[in-house]
Chains A and B, each alone.
Chain A
Amino acid sequence: MALSADDVRGIADYARIALSPEELEAMTAYLNDTIAILDPILQYDLEGVEPTYHPIGDLANVMRDDAEAPGLAIDAALGNAGSTRGRSFRVPSILGDGGAA
């Protein structure tokens, strides 16, 4: 079933991407066109086929010794942020009604 503009508005909300009304219309058409080219994967009998999530099948967690090692300095870590305060990233209210950052 084709996605409606309302469906796409919901996806945009989930993806945290604000879309203008024009973008919403174009995005709805795009998603419906693209989902159509995904059809071939629905055509195979996949009963009992194990999924492969990764090209390296026997990949194991890589652990290092619990030893102190140099990391990113605070200045470097904060250097690309749009808004900082002291040693922290500064953000607007996470619950709303908190004023601008």
Chain B
Amino acid sequence: MTSFDTLTAAQIAAGVADGTFSATEVARAALDAIQARESSVQAFLQVTPELALEHARKVDAARAAGEKLGCLAGVPVAVKDNMNLAGTRTTCASLMLENYESPYTATCVQRLVDAGAVPVGKTNMDEFAFGSSTESSAFHRTNNPWDTERVPGGSSGGSAAAVAAGEVPITLGSDTGGSIRQPASLCGVVGLKPTYGAVSRYGVVAFGSSLDQVGPFARTVEDAALAMNALVAGGRDPLDSTSQDCPVDFVEHLNDPVEGMRVGYIPGLMEAEGLTPEVREAMARAKAAFEAQGAELVEIELPHMDAAIAAYYVIGPAEAFSNLARFDGVRYGYQEKDCSTLAEQSALSRAHGFGSEAKRRQMLGAYLLSSGVYDQYYFAAQQVRTLITRDYTRAFERCDVILMPASPRTAFRFGEISDPTQMYLSDVFTVSLNIVGNGGVSVPLGLGSESGLPVSAQLVGPAFSDRRLLTFARALEREAGTVNVVAPDFAGKGGELA
């Protein structure tokens, strides 16, 4: 007997292709693992056994018919609950969309399915992706598999926790200001935010349209690369005007050497407020790992980084306010009954449908876009965006990849950061990348020496160099030995494969 969670997605796809096990057997093992672990993790908002078995049977039938199987054949996957999947609800973890039935399937989800992946459910998140701890979900909290009294990070906390707990090998998240990289860091898994435009957002509920990007979580860099191959297959999505062609094989050059490559780092960043000693140690280990493999360390500067948080908390809420105006209780979403005017129905539907953080972000956005304030903040934020973009362009003239933390600290306790503005400041290492659009990946580096909680490094690449970014991530993973690690309290619990 093999425990399902010891297998990577690559191993599952290979095993299904060569007949070692069927997709249906794998799906049943994944559903068993979820059943055994979910009461402790609470990563899911919906588990979809019937849908999973239906898709698994299709993969098995395709194999029996001698058809060529996709790169994720029989691999159980789960997606963040802001992604439409026909046959499921898409709630965005909000009372506003508690009963919203997906009318169609998002392109990113469809592409996983087209590659043979088996969808087993929808994962928890901060409401409408507003948050860094998944505590703002309207339905329940998600526990960090490394310490269930701590948050998994956010906003894609359910997707990160499901992978860390060994419930599925691959999940999808969305990243508007760090919502893939930060929970990946706190849960000790790989989390990739691809370059803006690399993955279609059609069918993903919008937060900040100039910032949002979809990407994978996995327990190995290779599995993240496999997921990327599925996500970019088929090229540009005509249904998303920002979608770009990415005709590359993310797996092909994964194990290329990084010898002679230049890894940039920012010495001053180590003095950032709130950066814990364990995260500093992790950065030192990452530097040593690259040096051991013959890479050259280069000091660089990003002089306008200190304005990134401010620019982000102008652009993000402004775009969110604009995007969430569609939730007026008319076409979908919570509707207040017995109102005498449309304006009253909108104001009360939004008051009762949205939670506190969703209201706060929209109120901030409404203020920032109001007459007189717009020029002072919104226009200036877009000018600062130019300065930060230039900073990165200059930095990449001197290096091939930039090393920095993904999160200033390891996973924190529930309720530990209750002041919203303090929570915002913890996004300091992730938001600048959404502002410029480049790709970034969080790579696990083992456990902190004091806390025993996962620590990580974030790697940042030039735009549309995500394949090479994963080569650097693989080099780090190889040196750190963090391949396919499941949180110890969950490893092997349920989900046996014959």
Contacts and interface: CB of A to CB of B under 8 A. Distances in A.
- Listed from nearest, the 7 A-B pairs whose CB atoms lie closest are A55-B437, A82-B335, A51-B382, A80-B332, A15-B366, A18-B351, A18-B347
A89 B346 CA distance: 14
Contact of B196 (A56, A92, A100): A56
A52 B388 CA distance: 10
A34 B306 CA distance: 16
A98 B360 CA distance: 31
A22 to B, nearest CB: 11
Interface string A16-48: 111100010001001101111111111110100
A31 to B, nearest CB: 6
17 contacts: A16-B350, A17-B359, A27-B360, A34-B421, A35-B367, A37-B425, A44-B304, A44-B387, A46-B380, A51-B386, A52-B383, A81-B332, A82-B333, A82-B334, A82-B337, A96-B340, A101-B337
A15 B321 contact: yes
B238 A91 contact: no
B389 interface: yes
Interface string B205-244: 0000010000000000000000000000000001001101
Contacts of A41: 307, 310-311, 314, 377, 380-381, 384
Contacts of A89: 330-331
Interface in A45-67: 46, 49-56, 59, 61-62, 64
Interface of B is mostly: helix
Contacts, number: 189
A10 to B, nearest CB: 9
Interface centre among B334, B341, B382 (most CB of A within 10 A): B341
A59 B242 contact: yes
B321 to A, nearest CB: 7
A12 interface: yes
A81 B309 CA distance: 37
A50 B383 contact: yes
Interface of A is mostly: loop
B457 interface: no
Interface of A: 3, 8, 11-19, 23, 27, 30-31, 33-44, 46, 49-56, 59, 61-62, 64, 72, 76-77, 79-83, 89, 91-101
A16 B424 contact: no
Given A18-B350, A49-B386, A93 B210 contact: no
A55 B436 contact: yes
A38 B377 contact: yes
Interface in B309-329: 309-311, 313-314, 321, 325, 328-329
A50 B100 CA distance: 41
Nearest to A36: B421
Given A17-B347, A56-B197, A40 B306 contact: yes
B330 to A, nearest CB: 5
